[in-house]
Amino acid sequence: MSVLLLLIAAAAAPGPAPRSPAMRASMDTRCETCHSVGGWTKVTFDHSKTGFPLEGRHVSTSCRACHGSSQDFTEPVATSCAACHRDVHLGEFGNRCSSCHDPSSWASRFGPDAHRLTNFPLTGRHAAIPCEECHLNQRDRRFTRSTVDCYTCHQADYARTVGTAIDHLRAGFGTDCRSCHFPTRFKGATFPAHNACFQITGGPHAGISCLDCHSSLASFTPTGTCTTNTADCMRCHACSRETTSHANVGGFQCKNRKCYECHTFTPGAGVAPSRAGVRR
Amino acid sequence: MTTRVRIAGALLATAMGASASQSETAPVRRTGSVLYATTSRLYLDAGSREGLAPGQIVQLQKGTCRVEQVSATRATCLGTGRAGDTFGLPPPPPQPPASRLAPLPAPSVVEQRRSTLGSAPHPKVDFHQGSSGLEARQGSADLGIGHTTWWTSRVGSSSQERVDALIRDLPLGAGFTLDVDLSARRWSRRSGPISFRPDDATQLYVWEASISRRTAGGPAFSVGRVRPYRVPGQVILDGAQAGWRTVGGTEAGIFGGVVPDAVTLAPSVDHGTFGAYWIGQHSYPGDSSLRFLRHEARIAFIDTADLGKRVEGEALLEARITRQVDFAFDVRGGGTVSGGVGSMNSVGLEALRVDVSARPLDSVNLLGSFRYDGLSIPELDGPGRVLNSGAVRHADFSAAWEPMDTLRFSVVSGLSSDLLSHTSRRWIGPEIALPRLLGDSAGLSAGYFREDGWAPGSSAWLQLLARSHGVFQLIARLSWFRTAGIAPVDLDELGASAAIQAQLARYVALRLSVFGRTTLNGQTSPFGPATGQVAFADLEIAGTF
């Protein structure tokens, strides 16, 4: 009789707790998990549970385009991009397309920031030039290129200085462009040896073009003796104003050479006056 | 009757009565809950029987969703939430007035109707097996018209207009399909030194223009400007690819044709290629450790302007092992032929690639790759200058941990070595991401890299992703870089970029990408007279069909 009572009580008790969605999905066929009353063909399956979340254009791709003739979708499908998409790079970058391509359009999202994860970080102007300027091969869409020194690509720019005010060849400048030039543009270069005479890598004269100070460098040959005699301080510093401000300086003369005899702007040496009165 | 039996009878009667009354007047539910949650859709455990209707706004514990479709007991709801979230149900719809049903017809009448229906003629409907597999694809077309401008301070700008077309598997009838991949470009302005085709303001590139027919259990071929179908490492050619494809998807065949110019893609009969290929792929049952296997191979003779006459062999193997590991391996060897096939020199390994991704736990993802390219390819870089490209070694490894849906930590590292100049760079750094900072609408990530090598430095960035699924997406990014060894002083750069994609109509999208960077050149002010600025903008109207 006790057994009977237990059976009766069990019959009257509430049913078992509902199973978890995952259990239901794996153990029985619940059409509403994927289908709706809108129609059998309008399927809403949570593909992210498979480990391959559908993003971008994959959302609107038909199931059969990837799963082929599989009737129950349990047949494994390769998840690499190359399993469905043609690799126009001939395998150069392996099968991880998503590191460069957007799944919504295939448009490349590889940019100057991403280029930093290569052997050649794009700095200065290199960050805003067409890719083809360096990666010439259009047929194979290859992007490997030797990381060469500046001169290899910029030979023509070096040669272009011949006959100009700063003839690199005549001045005996080397081909290590990086020691003087910034990657933004060739003009506005620094000349580290210049600091021994007059500091231009820092201080108030940083970034000034050579010919903003020097009246001519046509016959310039660096000797290290600070005697080009072409620096034209008076171009920016008006004599009338400097004479007034130097009224108490013994031996002051309003001559170019006299200026940089005192004002070398080299850290720890010379005088660094205020910039008041500078005419730019 | 004993007392025990009386008690049992009473309990039985009570239980049956309770069960009956429950079935007749089930208690009205006042709350529902979310069964599943995807990125943009919730699945509710209530339907029209509980008063839900399409378009109705459901108030969740956090946020709302809009009912999309309903069945009697279930509904889908557009919005964000989590499985287990509860919501209040609307008052049940008023019950229709009870009406007495017509009395059942007499058994003789039912039998008469049954015999009438059974003897009525009706047309039979035959079952037709639909097309399946890759052949079921209906093709796609992407057409775009765009404008790009590159600008550098004190130098000027370059501008280009272009038309792009990408057509895939467009059915032409009788099983033939069309594939096209081309780009027409016009430089409206170019400034600064120009290396790439300086005298050609108008350029046309056709990477693919072929007609194909690939049926399972029959011949498979492509003709035209062909990018050989799944032939690893094979250069495009003006010619044909022909083979035999089994029902299971295995294919073998040959290809041959002339090779277009590497820079202009102009057709040329001076150089060519021919060879043979093999493609195979297999899926295995779900209880097998090996789930998927793809293997491809190629052997070819190639004569190109840059590398001369060569023989190449390449093999690719890709496997999915359990649900956790994906593995890909690609190897290419070859040698130069001087004086004809048979007299080869410098035969050796030319390329090797290994990619491995593993997900040992649901919350942990590991990615690693190694790439070696030993072949140096001469390129004509501007008038009269030849550079040797390629010959690199690259490796990277990343590990990501997602303790929850809204948080991801990762570490990214890499190495890139140039085997010609004997220079290399290495980088490593952490990234933290909040991919669901505002549900599915917005995410934020930030990272830092420490870099070493011939141009050492540091990078840091902050990136925002905002989107409305299928309508709009914005990726905005702020960056800072410091690079040594590349300028007279350590170079600091500040950059900002944004990429916007907006779906203007069902088939039309707008894509805008802008980028700007200022290089401090040793200065403290980002926009001082000695600094340099660069910018880039790309606008495209794209149609997808």
Interface ipTM above 0.90 = no
Q: Average of pLDDT values for A236-249? A: 85
Q: How many CA atoms lie within 13 A of B15 on its CB side?
A: 16
Tell if the CB–CB gap between B523 and A207 is shorter than 8 Å. Answer: yes
Q: Are strands B472-483 and B457-468 parallel, antiparallel or unpaired?
A: antiparallel
The pLDDT score that the predictor gives to residue A269 is 54
Contact B233, B302 (CB under 8 A): no
The pLDDT score that the predictor gives to residue B340 is 44
The pLDDT score that the predictor gives to residue B131 is 40
CA distance B61 to B51: 19
Tell if the CB–CB gap between A123 and B481 is shorter than 8 Å. Answer: yes
**Is the model's pLDDT at B132 over the cut of 60?**
no
CA-based nearest distance B340→chain A, Å: 24
Interface check for A104 against chain B (CB to CB < 8 A): the answer is yes
Share of chain B above pLDDT 90, in %: 40
Tell if the CB–CB gap between B376 and A129 is shorter than 8 Å. Answer: no
The token pair at A133 is 């300027």
The pLDDT score that the predictor gives to residue A23 is 36
CA-based nearest distance B24→chain A, Å: 16
Interface check for A1 against chain B (CB to CB < 8 A): the answer is yes
What count of other Cβ atoms lies within 10 Å of the Cβ of residue B172? 12
Tell if the CB–CB gap between B196 and A133 is shorter than 8 Å. Answer: yes
- For B429, phi then psi, to 5°, come to 180, 165
Min mean pLDDT across A256-260, B8-12, B107-111, B467-471 is at: B8-12
Return the residue matching tokens 């021919």.
Answer: B274
Contact B474, B468 (CB under 8 A): no
How many cross-chain Cβ pairs, A to B, lie less than 8 Å apart?
345
Tell if the CB–CB gap between A134 and B195 is shorter than 8 Å. Answer: yes
The residue type at B98: A
The per-residue pLDDT for range B442-455, each reduced to its tens digit, is 999 999 999 999 99
The token pair at B515 is 């980028």
Q: Are strands B491-503 and B308-321 parallel, antiparallel or unpaired?
A: unpaired
Interface check for A95 against chain B (CB to CB < 8 A): the answer is yes
CA distance B38 to A47: 9
In chain A, residues with a C-beta closer than 8 Å to the C-beta of B381 are 136, 153
Higher per-residue confidence, A76 vs A198? A198
The pLDDT score that the predictor gives to residue B386 is 67
The pLDDT score that the predictor gives to residue B150 is 94
Considering only the beta carbons, identify the residue of B7, B154, B417 that sits closest to A119. Answer: B417
Tell if the CB–CB gap between A121 and B263 is shorter than 8 Å. Answer: no
Considering only the beta carbons, identify the residue of A48, A93, A119 that sits closest to B418. Answer: A119
The pLDDT score that the predictor gives to residue B175 is 86
Helix (H, G, I), strand (E, B) or coil at A74: coil
Beta bridge partners of B518: B494, B533
In chain B, residues with a C-beta closer than 8 Å to the C-beta of A86 are 227, 229-230
**Is the model's pLDDT at B235 over the cut of 70?**
yes
**Is the model's pLDDT at B202 over the cut of 70?**
yes
